[in-house]
Structure 1
Amino acid sequence: MSWCLQIPQVQHTVVRSSSSGDHVKLWTAERVLSAVLLGAIPAAIAMPTPAVETFLALSLTVHSHWGIEALVHDYVRPSMFGNVIPRLSIAAVYGLSMMTFGSLCYFIYTDVGLINAVSIFWKL
């Protein structure tokens, strides 16, 4: 019966600080961008000009990029996949973000634009 009263041993690990930079500034920038999006979306709806829509496309792309990059950093770790796959994954995230922004700009300037496309979609 003494096995019921045994207290499990807890191991403590030291949390190492990241050597890749100051994450407080990035966290602040992410929150500022989220707040900017609260104004950028209504502004793009009110004035669907290419300049405003390009700003919206850039803001949405950067917002998405930071989220996907954080996901890749969290789940594609060098301890699990080695050193090559995490670096390739981050490069793929950057490539995907650049292609996304380029495609959105192409759509804005050569087609109906983001806001008009969403309104056409909602009319269906």
Structure 2
Amino acid sequence: MALSTLLRTPVLAGRVFTQQVLKYGSLSCLQRPLVSMVPSMAPVSQHAFKEVTHTPIINSVRSFRTSPVRLSDDKPHDHSKLWVIEKTVAALMIPMLPLGLMIPNKIFDSVIAILICAHSFWGLEAMVVEYVRVLLFGSFLPKVAMAVVYCISATMLGGLFYLNFNDIGLCRAFWRIWRNMQKPKQTKKRRRGLEAIAIDYVRASVVGPILPKIALGLVYLISIAMLGGLFYIIGHDDGLANTVKQIWAIKSDRQKS
């Protein structure tokens, strides 16, 4: 019953299975001698048992394939090697950046430029692959995005090499920018009022070194006298605001008269 069920399955009833059985049967008949093909005087049960032992069903089922055999399998992309290269580049940037800043030269500048461009290229490529997908934007827009990434990386590498071989170099340019960004330690004090007038118009290059000092001394004396007079009005008189009001009232009375 199990054998009949097996023979009625779609796999065993197919055209490929039939061809395999016929081929095996024809080969076995050609290889066996003619005497073996004549029925012997053995009992029928023994003869049937021998015929069953020589059945090709097991071998045919074992060699049967439901999918076509691929003669040459393409090797898949080995992403582990790319991952190792990316991590190696990132690890090399750690000692190369301070070493290039401490010892600026064209060799270190070139190596740093290559490492920076490779690291940025892989980052931009990962962003394009992750966010500009073919399933969402079609097949054209991801190609344009990748072309933009290649253009940016090539332009960056070309600009850095131009800076290294036709200008001061990458690391020296960094130090120049750093110095320009730093604030000067001694900022010039902005002069105003009488002091600014004395410095601008009584210059040592015009009137000598003594007269500007005298002018600044007079400015200090005038400032001190003004501050003392105001404090005297505030402490021993009507105060600054009342004094201003009295002066304004006197002025208005004179205008009326």
Residue 112 in structure 1 maps to residue 159 in structure 2: no
Please list every run of 5 or more consecutive structure 2 residues that lacks an aligned counterpart in the other structure.
Answer: 1-74, 181-257
* Percentage of matched positions with identical amino acids: 33
Give unpaired runs (5+ residues) of structure 1: 1-18
Q: Hey, what does 2:113 align to over in structure 1?
A: 57
Query: What is the deviation of 1:20?
Result: 7.1
Deviation for aligned residue 1:46: 2.5
Equivalent positions of 1:1-124 (< 5 A) are 21-124=77-180
Q: Measure the CA separation in 2 of the matches of 1:117 and 1:107.
A: 9
Displacement of 1:47 in angstroms is 2.0
Aligned length: 106
Match of 2:34 in 1: none
The match for 2:37 is none
Deviation at 1:95, TM superposition (A): 1.5
Give me the CA root mean square deviation: 1.4
d(CA) in 2 for partners of 1:75 and 1:47?
40
Separation in 2, partners of 1:61, 1:79? 29
Secondary structure in structure 2 of the residue aligned to 1:21: coil
Distance 2:176 2:102 in 1: 16
SS of the residue corresponding to residue 48 of structure 1 reads: coil
2:45 is matched with none
**Higher alpha-carbon Rg:** 2
2:249 corresponds in structure 1 to: none
Distance 1:79 1:122 in 2: 46
User: Greater relative contact order (Cα 8 A, min sep 6): structure 1 or 2?
Assistant: 1
Q: Distance in 1 between matches of 2:99 and 2:179?
A: 21
**Structure 1 runs (4+) greater than 6 angstroms displaced:** none
